[in-house]
Amino acid sequence: MAGSDDIPFGEQPDFGEQPDALEQELQRHGLQRDGLIEILTCAQRQHGWLSPTVLTTIATRLQLPLSQVLGTASFYHLFRFEPPLPHRCLVCTGTACHVLGAPLLLAALREESLPQRGMELGEVRCIGSCSGAPLVVIDGQVLNHQSPASALRAVRSMATTQP
Amino acid sequence: MTATAVRICTASSCRSRGGEAIRAGLTPVAQASGSRLRVTGVGCLGPCSDGPLMAIGQRLFSLEAPAPEPLAQSLQQALDHNSLETWRPPGCPLIPADDAFLRLQRRLVLQRCGVIDPESIEAALAHGSYRQLQQVVNGNTPAAVIDAVRRSGLRGRGGAGYPTGLKWATVAAMPAGDKVVVCNADEGDPGAFMDRTVMEGDPHRLLEGMAIAAYAIGASRGFVYVRAEYPLAIERLRRAIAAAQAKRWLGSAIAGSRFRFDVEIRVGAGAYVCGEETALIHSIEGGRGVPRPRPPYPAEQGVFGLPTLINNVETFANVPVLLALGPEAYHPGTKVFSLTGHVRRGGVLEVPMGTSLRTIVEEMGGGAPAGRSIKAVQTGGPSGGCVPAAHLDTPVDYESLRALGSTMGSGGMVVLDDTTDMVDLAAFFMAFCREESCGKCVPCRCGTVQLELLLRKLLARRAQPGDLEQLEQLCHTVQQASLCGLGQCAPNPVFSVLRHFRSELEACLH
């Protein structure tokens, strides 16, 4: 997605980012705990997920108990504690998408055993471009007006390409 | 000779339909034209369902995703033949300026949206951005600003409709010292994207509104709390803040005065409940977004324990235009809606407060798709309800919708046609609230689970005769005993079905 800077959904981890991006973010917040969510977002963007090592590092640097860091991180849907698969397909389940057939898309995609082919299947609660409903987001790219058949075509072409 | 401006919508919706590629494709034609043609990416032009959209002067075209190359060729030809003013991109329908969708709007908040390049502060300034801020800091007392806001009758556009002037006066009356202004841009209601439109299309309007609010209440620090699902809005806000700082419309010595105001962006991480103001405060502080009981209200104890003013995007965005027009001419103001669902023409529109639902849905939106009829209009998201077709003449304002058991909410409007299963929709919203419940209080944490189970049981035609009564009773319990707005309003969609579509629930019993 063009210009996406902070979005943890559907985005591939930016391994090319400077290795000290996390350290810079910690410094930007003056090692203060109110920056925790932004710092976690930065760490997840860098590594693709929040590993125990990363969480421990953040806790130590902010002088917070690990339980508090994990407690905050686990509260929010967009933080993840397992490494991501190469591809990600999100079905929008907002109201407009729901009434226009999102449940059918989800049902069709669930049949596909996508994880075995390197693609996660998830849901997102409205990305606010409902005129394209029902829509799916594959690796950050929005595909409007999907039918079960077109969504299957899209994931099949993606799930076979390695990143 | 002034350049003819071709404006391409590059906001999220048109972007997903190729708007950005079209802008990039047409730009070389403009560059080679000397100064005869300008191609600009702009914010939302309105009828998103016809996107990607392009505007030349007053003429609006639905490009319906043609390849950029033939379009560029056609534009080049028009340029060569000096026929830009009458150019029609081949095969692209014109949406006439007198189309109801455009004609019936009163664009105050969206005045510059779709007109200016949202990434250029020069464009915003040329169209009057920060003019009110300059006037306010150099010529008005904070009390005069608050008085103008109060007289305008502006009420919170986030859903609750609390009088904005009163809120400002309350925070202003707190003892002097550090105060905070927070913009709630955590637009979480599914089907609502008015605030995204403002942030993507005219971010400086929001910043100007916040700065005026900060001046009025005596704050020097501000936060915009945006949901992570809006990457383009975040990017454009970041850019706008940096540009405004460079031009001294934010930061220290604003407009040559002694007034100082710094704004930071805080990006959420996916939690609907963070739209609740006390949860939002905890999230800005870096914690779990769990609500707490009020009082103390944020006006007294908000972010970092400081007196805090919290308004949503549209509320702040109303402030500059309200001051420009004067409170009397502004009243009763407008409301921005996002129109989606089973409707022919959907998108973002701004209408005078009190416009009827029928005008919005049938006249502007063109009604239900061919061969279908409108069954209801859902407003207010998971905290709202459905207005049945028989009540479409209801004026859209805070009180009228509440009287029908729905709410204005933030302005999401989902049209439902006769194929919609209302019980399924109620279950959908209950599942949403169950998922988004923070778990702090029992009525919401457990009540939403039980309510969803009951609705699923009804849908599976396994319900017993007593289940409907239990559903209703439990709705009252959750409504009355929950800690915050999320829980208190979670039963609203069910109440709405009980009230307007009871027969559908009863049909599930057989």
| Segment B352-375, tens digit of pLDDT | 999 999 999 999 999 999 999 999
Last residue of a domain, one of A29, A58, A84: A84
In Å, how far is B341's CA from the nearest CA of chain A?
5
Answer for the pair B112, B124: CB distance below 8 angstroms, yes or no. Answer: yes
Residue A160 — pLDDT band, cuts 50, 70, 90? Answer: low
- Domain co-membership, A10 together with A64: yes
Residue B1 confidence (pLDDT): 59
Number of domains forming the structure of chain A: 2
Task: Name the residue in chain A with its Cα closest to that of B433.
Answer: A125
What span, in angstroms and rounded, lies between the C-alpha atoms of B3 and B34?
9
- Domain co-membership, B176 together with B289: yes
The verdict on whether omega for the bond into residue B295 sits within 30 degrees of 0, i.e. cis, is yes
Q: CB distance B287–A144 less than 8 Å?
A: no
The tokens for B234 are 């975040």
pLDDT tens readout for residues B442-471 = 999 999 999 999 999 999 999 998 999 999
What kind and span of H or E run contains B223? Answer: strand B221-226
Domain containing B444 equals 422-507
Q: Provide the angle, in degrees to the nearest 10, between the axes of the packed helices A21-28 and A52-62.
A: 30
- Domain co-membership, A71 together with A94: no
Residue B213 — pLDDT band, cuts 50, 70, 90? Answer: very high
- Domain co-membership, B322 together with B340: no
- Domain co-membership, A76 together with A114: no
Q: Is A100 on the interface with B (CB under 8 A)?
A: yes
Q: Is A77 on the interface with B (CB under 8 A)?
A: yes
Helix/strand/coil percent split, chain B, to 5 = 45, 15, 35
What span, in angstroms and rounded, lies between the C-alpha atoms of B312 and B320?
14
Q: CB distance B190–A33 less than 8 Å?
A: no
Residue B304 — pLDDT band, cuts 50, 70, 90? Answer: very high
Q: Tell me the CATH number at B79.
A: 3.40.30.10
What span, in angstroms and rounded, lies between the C-alpha atoms of B44 and B53?
9
Last residue of a domain, one of A84, A115, A147: A84
- Domain co-membership, B73 together with B193: no
What span, in angstroms and rounded, lies between the C-alpha atoms of B487 and B476?
11
Instruction: Report chain A residues whose CB lies below 8 A from the CB of B189.
Output: 126
Q: Tell me the CATH number at A17.
A: 1.10.10.1590
Q: Tell me the CATH number at B174.
A: 3.40.50.11540
Q: Looking at the DSSP assignment, which residues form a beta bridge with residue B311?
A: B183
pLDDT tens readout for residues B7-24 = 999 999 999 999 999 999
Name the residue with tokens 């409707």. B343
What span, in angstroms and rounded, lies between the C-alpha atoms of B248 and B268?
28
The tokens for B314 are 């549209």
pLDDT tens readout for residues B369-399 = 999 999 999 999 999 999 999 999 999 999 9
* Mean pLDDT, rounded, for B313-337: 96
Answer for the pair B368, B419: CB distance below 8 angstroms, yes or no. Answer: no
In Å, how far is A118's CA from the nearest CA of chain B?
23
* Mean pLDDT, rounded, for B179-198: 96
Contacts of residue B208, defined as CB under 8 A and 6 or more positions apart, other chains included, come to B129, B130, B132, B133, B249, B319, B320
What span, in angstroms and rounded, lies between the C-alpha atoms of B500 and B358?
18
Tell how many helices (H) and how many strands (E) occur in chain B.
Answer: 22, 14
Domain containing A103 equals 87-159
Answer for the pair B144, B168: CB distance below 8 angstroms, yes or no. Answer: no
Residue A7 confidence (pLDDT): 40
Residue A20 confidence (pLDDT): 86
Q: Is A125 on the interface with B (CB under 8 A)?
A: yes
pLDDT tens readout for residues B217-268 = 999 999 999 999 999 999 999 999 999 999 999 999 999 999 999 999 999 9
Instruction: Report chain A residues whose CB lies below 8 A from the CB of B231.
Output: 1, 3-7
Q: Tell me the CATH number at A106.
A: 3.40.30.10
pLDDT tens readout for residues A67-88 = 999 999 999 999 999 999 999 9
Q: From the list B193, B234, B416, which residue is nearest A130 (CB)?
A: B193
User: Kind of pairing, strands B37-42 and B59-62?
Assistant: unpaired
Residue B409 — pLDDT band, cuts 50, 70, 90? Answer: confident
Q: Tell me the CATH number at B409.
A: 3.10.20.600
Q: Please tell me whether residue B377 adopts helix, strand or coil conformation.
A: strand
Q: How many CA atoms lie within 13 A of B309 on its CB side?
A: 36
Q: What percent of chain B has pLDDT over 70?
A: 99
- Domain co-membership, A93 together with A153: yes
Number of domains forming the structure of chain B: 4
Q: CB distance B342–A35 less than 8 Å?
A: no
Instruction: Report chain A residues whose CB lies below 8 A from the CB of B290.
Output: 75
pLDDT tens readout for residues B123-143 = 999 999 999 999 999 998 999
What span, in angstroms and rounded, lies between the C-alpha atoms of B488 and B465?
26
Instruction: Report chain A residues whose CB lies below 8 A from the CB of B13.
Output: 129, 131-132
The gap between the terminal CA atoms of chain B, to the nearest Å, is: 74
Q: How many contacts (CB atoms, under 8 Å) link A and B? A: 154
Residue A158 confidence (pLDDT): 80
Work out the mean pLDDT of chain A and round it to a whole number: 88
Q: CB distance B190–A127 less than 8 Å?
A: no
Q: How many CA atoms lie within 13 A of B57 on its CB side?
A: 11
pLDDT tens readout for residues A1-34 = 333 333 444 444 454 555 689 999 999 999 999 9
Residue A17 confidence (pLDDT): 52
| Dihedral of alpha carbons A74, A135, B118, A14, sign | positive
Residue A136 — pLDDT band, cuts 50, 70, 90? Answer: very high
- Domain co-membership, B208 together with B250: yes
- Domain co-membership, B345 together with B249: no
- Domain co-membership, A112 together with A58: no
What kind and span of H or E run contains B432? Answer: helix B422-436
Answer for the pair B382, B489: CB distance below 8 angstroms, yes or no. Answer: yes
Contacts of residue A79, defined as CB under 8 A and 6 or more positions apart, other chains included, come to A8, A40, A44, A50, A73, B269, B270
What kind and span of H or E run contains A120? Answer: strand A119-124
Q: How many CA atoms lie within 13 A of B118 on its CB side?
A: 34
- Domain co-membership, A71 together with A95: no
B37 CB-contact burial (10 Å; exposed 0-12 / middle 13-18 / buried 19+):
buried
Of B181, B173, B179, the C-alpha closest to B206 is B181
Q: How many CA atoms lie within 13 A of B208 on its CB side?
A: 28
What span, in angstroms and rounded, lies between the C-alpha atoms of B115 and B2?
16
Name the residue with tokens 């005045």. B111
Last residue of a domain, one of A84, A105, A134: A84
Q: Looking at the DSSP assignment, which residues form a beta bridge with residue B347?
A: B339
Instruction: Report chain A residues whose CB lies below 8 A from the CB of B425.
Output: 98-99
Residue B408 confidence (pLDDT): 86
In Å, how far is B357's CA from the nearest CA of chain A?
18
- pLDDT: which is higher, B26 or A162: B26
The tokens for B220 are 């020097």
> Residues B151-188, buried b or exposed e (16+ Cβ, 10 A)?
ebbbbbbbbbbeebbebbbbbbebeeeebbbbbbbbbb
Q: CB distance A72–B191 less than 8 Å?
A: no
- pLDDT: which is higher, A15 or B320: B320
Instruction: Report chain B residues whose CB lies below 8 A from the CB of A94.
Output: 190-191
What span, in angstroms and rounded, lies between the C-alpha atoms of B441 and B481?
9
Work out the mean pLDDT of chain B and round it to a whole number: 95
| B118 has pLDDT over 50 | yes
